[in-house]
Each structure stands twice: as structure tokens, then as C-alpha cells.
Amino acid sequence: QVQLVESGGGLVQPGGSLRLSCAASGSIFSFYAMGWYRQAPGKQRELVASITISGNTNYADSMKGRFTISRDNAKNTVYLQMNSLKPDDTAVYYCKLSARLDYWGQGTQVTVSS
């Protein structure tokens, strides 16, 4: 079993920054990628960014240049640095670990508002 615990969400003003963390524990061998997704009210869950075990990254177009995904393999943790936040970035952000199965965290709320 795999457990994912996200942290770092909160309320931030437009133009501000947040750093999300996702710590994985449990039977996490043989996973090949971790990623961040988000879901805004009334919208489908969408990819924000992902990173493979070898370090290859992928970003949604609207996040390129503003968000950066990184990982610390020794800590089994993936991070999402979010800069220049906009009100449209308001959503619940979920961490996902891809192995033979997909595992999801419980989500962390990010609210961008003045």
C-alpha cells in the first residue's frame, strides 16, 4: 500500500508563490512517475506537472514558466513550486504516484485571491 501526504496549500494573493510537497510512504518501489493534478469547482481534474523517476518533466501549457516540479528521491518527496499565481490557479491540488497502480493523495487547497 502507498500513502501520499500533500502539504503547503493555503491562501495567497495574486502574483504570490506557494510550494507544495507530497511525501510518499509504503510500498513505493517500482514507481515510475509522480505528478500534480488540480481540480477547480465544476471542472475536471487536470494535469499540472509530472516528473519521471529519471527526472524527465512534463507541464501543462498554462503552467510552463510559472510552475516547477522537482523531487527528492532520498525523501520520496515531490515538490511543486508555484510562482506568479493567478485566481484561475485556485483549485484542490492532488499528488499522484504512478506504478502498477495509480495512487492519489487527499489533496490540498490552493486559493489565489486578494
Of 76, 71, 59, 67, give the one whose Cα is nearest residue 110. Answer: 67
Of 10, 23, 33, 3, give the one whose Cα is nearest residue 82. Answer: 10
Ordered per-residue pLDDT tens for the chain, 114 residues:
889 999 999 999 999 999 999 999 887 767 789 999 999 999 999 999 999 988 999 999 989 999 999 998 888 899 999 999 999 999 999 999 998 889 999 999 999 999
Query: For residues 13 and 23, is the Cβ–Cβ distance under 8 A?
Result: no
